[in-house]
A and B are shown apart, each in its own frame.
Chain A
Amino acid sequence: AQRVTQPEKLLSVFKGAPVELKCNYSYSGSPELFWYVQYSRQRLQLLLRHISRESIKGFTADLNKGETSFHLKKPFAQEEDSAMYYCAFHSSNTGKLIFGQGTTLQVKP
Chain B
Amino acid sequence: NAGVMQNPRHLVRRRGQEARLRCSPMKGHSHVYWYRQLPEEGLKFMVYLQKENIIDESGMPKERFSAEFPKEGPSILRIQQVVRGDSAAYFCASSPPVQNTGELFFGEGSRLTVL
Contact = CB atoms under 8 A, between A and B. Distances in A.
B115 interface: no
Interface string B41-84: 11111001000000110000000000000000000000000000
A29 B113 CA distance: 40
B42 A86 contact: yes
B106 A95 contact: no
B102 A44 contact: no
B55 A95 contact: yes
Contacts of A45: 105-106
B49 to A, nearest CB: 11
Given A49-B103, A88-B102, A95 B31 contact: yes
A101 interface: yes
A68 B101 CA distance: 20
A43 B48 contact: no
Contacts of B11: none
A86 B102 CA distance: 13
A90 interface: yes
B86 interface: no
Given A46-B103, A97-B45, 15 more contacts: A34-B103, A43-B106, A43-B108, A86-B42, A86-B43, A95-B31, A95-B55, A95-B56, A96-B33, A97-B93, A97-B104, A98-B45, A100-B42, A102-B42, A102-B43
Interface of A: 6, 32, 34, 43-46, 49, 86, 88, 90, 92, 94-102
For the complex of A and B, 4 pairs with smallest distance between CB atoms? A90-B102, A101-B42, A99-B43, A44-B106
